[in-house]
Amino acid sequence: MDSPESLGIDTVLQHYAEEGQPFGAVVPPIYQSSLFSFEDIDDFAAALSESPPGPPFFYSRIGNPTVDIVERKIAKLEGAEACKLIGTGMGAITMAIFSVVKSGSHCVVVDTCYKPVRQLFETMLARLGVTATFVDGRCPETVFEAVRPETDLIYLESPSSILFRLQDIEAITAFARQRGIVTVIDNTYSTPLYQSPLAMGVDILVHSATKYLAGHSDVTAGAICTSAERVAGMLKEEVNFLGSAIGPFPAWLVLRGLRTLSLRLPRHESTANSVVGWLQDHPKVKGVNHTSLADFEQRELFLKQMKGSAGLFSFELKDGSEAAVRSFVRALRLFKLGVSWGGFESLVVPVLMHPLDWPEPRWVIRLYCGLESPDDLIRDLARGLEAVSNASA
């Protein structure tokens, strides 16, 4: 095989970090073992004196051979020195944040970030003496102006949840680096295929691997990608103390999902673009929030820092009442009503949003286009919008 450094992304997805499996197995085995034993007390004592204990494996809360393959592959995809796979995306995000903050820290956070992350700052972190300022983020100055002498962390999610607003990653990381502020970004929406934040200066990148990376709605997982030094620190403290380890089998499912990532994403994207094109022209639709639109308000930034958009977007009905939203959702059959996304199945979820720049909360409908036939999805949405007219007639 060519040197691992020169491999194309599709080859990385199929083979990287998987050489040398026992018996020539083409699929790595699932090492369903919680611990790794030692022949000799001297070897055991030597392993225990390492930090983290190991090498290479000691106890599966810290590391496991099946998990390790997935970690090395995701690190390679993100251009990171190291990756740690965790049981959930929220576990990964919490560990990343805890590895940076201390009592008295101040954080600047994008206000439309994934809701449980916002709640983490507002509840647990606030109780521990960590304060946060929530900012719009679309204009980098909103981030810069919120920074204080005690700011230790800037938390980005670009595009952000539900409204899909972008932050100028390079402008913000350049500012943060000058001041010794650590930047964290959630790259779940884009995956390593469509956005490379570490190359743009971000310090710590997190994923909900539950979504596109695993891609089949059958597992929860999270990933942290950053420097080897930061991962080593997390293995000693956050990973060791907070737990939230991923099991070998869920990790193996992520590995299996990754094989088709570069096939799935463009398909989600072309379907979503057809659906969005149809929705935009519909008389009952007020506005569509999708990064790939030619008239997306941050089009230039999209072209600068992203390579694609895939299957997730949101829109508003002209009739913004809760009753209209309910009628629409109730009439759908293919789009299943549920949280999450990134799998094979199309999903809908209505969310009452109240970002900083809106005087009142408004209902936003998030759609996720799965791998079904685009015409069937459009027919389903037509049925939903038909029900809106019937309800308000």
Ligand X SMILES: *Cc1c(COP(=O)(O)O)cnc(C)c1O
Site residues for ligand X per CB under 6 A: 88-90, 114, 161, 186, 188, 208, 210-211, 220, 222, 340
What are 79's two structure tokens? 């251009």
Q: Which of 47, 290 has the CB closer to ligand X?
A: 290
Q: How far is the CB of 303 from ligand X (least distance, A)?
A: 22
Q: Which of 186, 331 has the CB closer to ligand X?
A: 186
Q: Is 336 a catalytic residue?
A: no
Q: Which residue in 68, 168, 186, 380 is the catalytic one?
A: 186
Closest C-alpha to 86, from 198, 226, 182 = 226
Q: Which of 289, 327 has the CB closer to ligand X?
A: 289
Q: How far is the CB of 87 from ligand X (least distance, A)?
A: 8
Q: Which of 188, 309 has the CB closer to ligand X?
A: 188
Closest C-alpha to 314, from 343, 355, 354, 285 = 285
Q: Which of 138, 211 has the CB closer to ligand X?
A: 211
Q: Is 211 a catalytic residue?
A: yes
In whole angstroms, give the CA distance from residue 75 to residue 305: 19
Q: How far is the CB of 187 from ligand X (least distance, A)?
A: 9
Q: How far is the CB of 221 from ligand X (least distance, A)?
A: 7
Q: Which residue in 16, 31, 114, 368 is the catalytic one?
A: 114
Q: Is 2 a catalytic residue?
A: no
Q: Which of 115, 379 has the CB closer to ligand X?
A: 115
Q: Which residue in 59, 61, 72, 236 is the catalytic one?
A: 61
Sign (positive/negative) of CA torsion 253, 310, 163, 137? positive
Q: How far is the CB of 63 from ligand X (least distance, A)?
A: 20
Q: How far is the CB of 188 from ligand X (least distance, A)?
A: 4
Q: Which of 211, 290 has the CB closer to ligand X?
A: 211
3-class secondary structure per residue, the chain: CCCHHHCCHHHHHHHCCCCCCHHHCCCCCCCCCCECCCCCHHHHHHHHHCCCCCCCCCECCCCCHHHHHHHHHHHHHHCCCEEEEECCHHHHHHHHHHCCCCCCCEEEEECCCCHHHHHHHHHHHHHCCCEEEEECCCCHHHHHHHCCCCEEEEEEECCCCCCCCCCCHHHHHHHHHHCCCEEEEECCCCHHHHCCHHHHCCCEEEEECCCCCCCCCCCCCEEEEECHHHHHHHHHCHHHHHCCECCHHHHHHHHHHHCCHHHHHHHHHHHHHHHHHHHHCCCCEEEEECCCCCCCCCHHHHHHHCCCCCCEEEEEECCCCHHHHHHHHHHCCCCEECCCCCCCCCEEEEEEECCCCCCCCEEEEEEECCCCCHHHHHHHHHHHHHHHHHHHC
Q: How far is the CB of 324 from ligand X (least distance, A)?
A: 25
Q: Which residue in 76, 118, 165, 211 is the catalytic one?
A: 211
Q: Is 304 a catalytic residue?
A: no
Tell me the CA distances in angstroms from 245 to 47, 89, 223, 249, 250, one per residue in order: 20, 11, 11, 12, 10
Q: Which of 188, 298 has the CB closer to ligand X?
A: 188
Q: Which amino acid is at 252?
A: W
Q: How far is the CB of 212 from ligand X (least distance, A)?
A: 10
Active site residues: 61, 114, 186, 211
